[in-house]
Structure 1
Amino acid sequence: MSDDIKKQLGAVIDSYKEDLCQMSDEIFDLAEISGEEYKTSDILCSYLEKEGFAVERGTGLETAFRATWDNGSDGPVIGILVEYDALEKIGHACGHHLQGPAGIGAAIAVKNCLQDYPCRLVVYGTPAEETLGGKIIMLDKGYMKELDLAFMSHGSPNTSVDEKCMALENFVVTFHGVKSHAAISPEEGRSALDAALLSFHAIEMLREHVKDDTRMHYTIRNAGGPPNVVPDLTVAEYTLRSYSTKYLDEVVERFYNILKGAALMTGTTYEIQRDLPFKSKVVCHKVNDLLMANAAYENAPSIAPPRERTGSTDFGNVLYEVPGSCIRIAFTDKDAQPHSEAYLKAGKSDAAHNAIVYAAKIMADSICDVLVNPELLAQIKQEFEVAREKG
């Protein structure tokens, strides 16, 4: 039965391909950066409204939205999450312009072909992934927590899923010292720059005593002035990462002690600005397997094993709350990695347009499998709870 429905889903998506690709190209050309995706959000919302979805705009962020199709009250709540922010000064070199059209294509197909299966289908527009971590803000305001299952898509050099993503903590630290003349009265000064440099050195010492997957980065945003003046202000930025959220919490505590020690040794003080923390995802292999099975069913290009090592994403925070996964669809050369010029140049290619269709079909097929076989969702939830408990 599900194969017959999947053929119907695919036919619907194919019939919308021209609209979806045109939408993607328009979003690509707008290239609106994080938090400024007003026109892009309106394009997506207006299309969903035209297709019969109830759209709530401004869900936690001005450019976020929640589009719902209710098909009875007894079924699961299935989410499709889409991003649409571009990179500043580069444009859509991360492929986010493909996600909205792909998610809309999947949602329309499910709405048209699965009316015999009760569910609530929710398309969430999640802006500002590249900077603020828009999904984290939306979660904090109660959105997405109602989902029983969450899907996403993303462009990639290969068609695959992720095993892990890195938890991330970012800090901007302002050190305050005492300004003085570096030649005439250096003894009266207390160098804010020295405090920052000592913290950097301590992080280098810490590298030997953390787990292998820990990443620690730092830079100076404001050194404090010319060399003949003891600087009374220095601004430094630090990024800490690990594939385990729980372990990263331990590293953060050690980082706090580094700051205390650097300030104590230099007679300075400091202020910490802590950005929203990105969590590592709770991996649900049954969802990964479901997406990859449907990728094979749809003959998606360049199918590859799951990615063992990835960067950081606010989708990880969602996957600490609900089970789900992101299907990555091949549309670039193997050497065209996200955030590169080569990746950008592929953004309006035939392969990119085909990736929209593949992503839409794979997500729609996976939703079909879950709705037709309720026991599958029960198994997914069971695996998720066990994995989340382990952290």
Structure 2
Amino acid sequence: MGTDFKHSTRSAVERYSDALVGLSRSIHAEPELAFAEHRSAAKVADLLEAEGFEVERGVADLETAFTASYGSGDLVLGLCAEYDALPEVGHACGHNVIAAASTGAGLALRDVADALGLTVRVIGTPAEEVGGGKVLMLERGVFDDVAFSMMVHPAPYEAVAARSLAITDVEVHYTGKPSHAAAAPHLGVNAADAITVAQVAIGLARQHLEPGQMVSGIVTRGGTVPNVVPAHTSAMFDLRAEDLESLRSLEARIFRCFEAGALATGCTHEIVKVSPVYAELTPDPWLADAYRTAATALGRTPLGPAEEARHKIGSTDMGNVTRALPAIHPTIAIDCGDAVNHQIEFATACASASADRAVLDGALALAWTAVSAATDDHQRTRLRAGAA
């Protein structure tokens, strides 16, 4: 990696440090849910547009998706910016840090893009927590000319080739027959019982699940009042597995548990997929090594490969991107005590001095990784060939 490019990108991150930290803090202060991140998406897009990026809003028929491009090089880099939050706990997954770090990497690379033969594109990707924004954007062509893609995610630990689980989100709806719960219960068909039977079946099935398979769920509708036999109930479940192939077998098993609830009670049932299926992360080895070098040079200490393989970061639609093109999704550590992602204490940590540092270090590590790829003739050729 050329010393001049390294110095230039570092200087740019330092120059924009106040704006990037301000962006992260501002998104954190106004959490918005999937596909409704209007303020958050605008904050990122407006900053990039003000700094000379060509911004297209509402891409892929998604109101809160955008692309912001700079340069005309034949090697196209896609920096993914997430900005959706979670219900009740806000930015407990730190998407404010992700958005600001990708924005910072884009700004750091802007002034060297032409010299590196890069087109730098920050891609605003809504609805990671639920909804699969990246999956929809992949299907609708947003990534078609992207040679490689990156983002960095805050976590309690530092992982370069982070691994995740494949996931599908499903709802099951049961329909029975209402009746008076005391005067004529025998005339009712209890849809709440159907959920209970399904939950018991799933609980018993857990001892036979394959390694890495997981099921978690909540009842989203359990009835109205206790003196009416519930006629309409529903529950939502996350099904996870090591990879898409294992996920398919898990899905078949759990769907039979749903059927058991209907069969045992006489209800009818419907299964609805809430989001597109998220694939497991398959990070590009060379890009991961280049990021490791960059993060280490910044004084960070990523987990070793063996320990890294034992950690799973949950699930992400970035997994689908890594299956479609060379990409990485490293994690960057913040000081969060004993808290983990999706806890309110982690949300608090994502608006701290440690998170601010992660924004700037993450931006620079991504930028240096891009410089390494653009200046390595062999890797440049490899990456370009995949996007051709």
- Compute the TM-score of the two structures, normalised by the length of structure 2: 0.90
Other-structure match for 1:369: 372
Kindly indicate whether the alpha-carbon contact (under 8 Å) linking 2:162 and 2:331 is maintained by their aligned counterparts in 1.
Answer: no
Q: Pairwise mapping of residues 101-250 of structure 1 onto structure 2 (< 5 A)?
A: 101-250=100-249
| 144-153 vs 186-195, greater mean Cα deviation | 186-195
Among candidates 328, 332, 335, match of residue 325 of structure 1: 328
Q: Offset at 1:133?
A: 2.5
Output the CA distance in 2 between the equivalents of 1:40 and 1:18: 17
Read off the aligned partner of 1:6 and give its amino acid letter. Answer: K
Kindly indicate whether the alpha-carbon contact (under 8 Å) linking 2:12 and 2:108 is maintained by their aligned counterparts in 1.
Answer: yes
Output the CA distance in 2 between the equivalents of 1:163 and 1:346: 21
Output the CA distance in 1 between the equivalents of 2:323 and 2:360: 28
Q: Any idea what the Cα deviations from partners look like across 1:8-61, whole Å, max 9, x if unmatched?
A: 211221122122222222222223333332222222112211222111001132
Structure-2 change in CA distance of 1:208 and 1:337 (3 Å) = closer
Kindly indicate whether the alpha-carbon contact (under 8 Å) linking 2:33 and 2:86 is maintained by their aligned counterparts in 1.
Answer: yes
Question: What percentage of aligned pairs have identical amino acids?
Answer: 30
Other-structure match for 2:21: 21
Read off the aligned partner of 1:336 and give its amino acid letter. Answer: A
Q: Any idea what the Cα deviations from partners look like across 1:302-347, whole Å, max 9, x if unmatched?
A: 4333362220111112222112112322221342322333323333
Output the CA distance in 1 between the equivalents of 2:247 and 2:327: 22
Kindly indicate whether the alpha-carbon contact (under 8 Å) linking 2:164 and 2:319 is maintained by their aligned counterparts in 1.
Answer: yes
Equivalences, count: 381
Output the CA distance in 2 between the equivalents of 1:380 and 1:207: 42
Q: Offset at 1:362?
A: 0.6
Output the CA distance in 1 between the equivalents of 2:171 and 2:302: 40
Other-structure match for 1:294: 294
Kindly indicate whether the alpha-carbon contact (under 8 Å) linking 1:287 and 1:380 is maintained by their aligned counterparts in 2.
Answer: no
Kindly indicate whether the alpha-carbon contact (under 8 Å) linking 2:176 and 2:188 is maintained by their aligned counterparts in 1.
Answer: yes
Structure 2 gaps of 5+ residues are none
SS in 2 for 1:180: coil
Other-structure match for 1:90: 89
Kindly indicate whether the alpha-carbon contact (under 8 Å) linking 1:162 and 1:310 is maintained by their aligned counterparts in 2.
Answer: no
Q: Any idea what the Cα deviations from partners look like across 1:100-132, whole Å, max 9, x if unmatched?
A: 222122112222124223232211011222232
SS in 1 for 2:71: strand
Other-structure match for 2:75: 76
Kindly indicate whether the alpha-carbon contact (under 8 Å) linking 1:71 and 1:117 is maintained by their aligned counterparts in 2.
Answer: no
| 130-139 vs 356-365, greater mean Cα deviation | 130-139
Q: Any idea what the Cα deviations from partners look like across 1:344-370, whole Å, max 9, x if unmatched?
A: 333333322221111111111000011
Structure-2 change in CA distance of 1:244 and 1:184 (3 Å) = same
Structure-2 change in CA distance of 1:51 and 1:202 (3 Å) = same
Kindly indicate whether the alpha-carbon contact (under 8 Å) linking 2:113 and 2:119 is maintained by their aligned counterparts in 1.
Answer: no
SS in 2 for 1:115: helix
Output the CA distance in 2 between the equivalents of 1:18 and 1:262: 55
Other-structure match for 1:389: none
SS in 1 for 2:254: helix
Kindly indicate whether the alpha-carbon contact (under 8 Å) linking 1:93 and 1:344 is maintained by their aligned counterparts in 2.
Answer: yes
Among candidates 343, 350, 370, match of residue 346 of structure 2: 343
Structure-2 change in CA distance of 1:3 and 1:160 (3 Å) = farther
Structure-2 change in CA distance of 1:235 and 1:107 (3 Å) = same
Q: Offset at 1:157?
A: 2.4
Structure-2 change in CA distance of 1:379 and 1:293 (3 Å) = farther
Structure-2 change in CA distance of 1:29 and 1:265 (3 Å) = closer
Structure-2 change in CA distance of 1:208 and 1:347 (3 Å) = closer
Q: Offset at 1:162?
A: 4.2
Structure-2 change in CA distance of 1:289 and 1:172 (3 Å) = same
Q: Offset at 1:239?
A: 1.9
1:266 and 2:265 matched: yes
SS in 2 for 1:116: helix
Structure-2 change in CA distance of 1:198 and 1:177 (3 Å) = same
| CA RMSD after TM alignment | 2.4
SS in 2 for 1:264: helix
Q: Offset at 1:150?
A: 0.7
SS in 2 for 1:43: helix
Structure-2 change in CA distance of 1:366 and 1:169 (3 Å) = same
Output the CA distance in 1 between the equivalents of 2:183 and 2:101: 66
Kindly indicate whether the alpha-carbon contact (under 8 Å) linking 1:114 and 1:368 is maintained by their aligned counterparts in 2.
Answer: no
Read off the aligned partner of 1:354 and give its amino acid letter. Answer: R
- Compute the TM-score of the two structures, normalised by the length of structure 1: 0.89
Kindly indicate whether the alpha-carbon contact (under 8 Å) linking 2:147 and 2:383 is maintained by their aligned counterparts in 1.
Answer: no
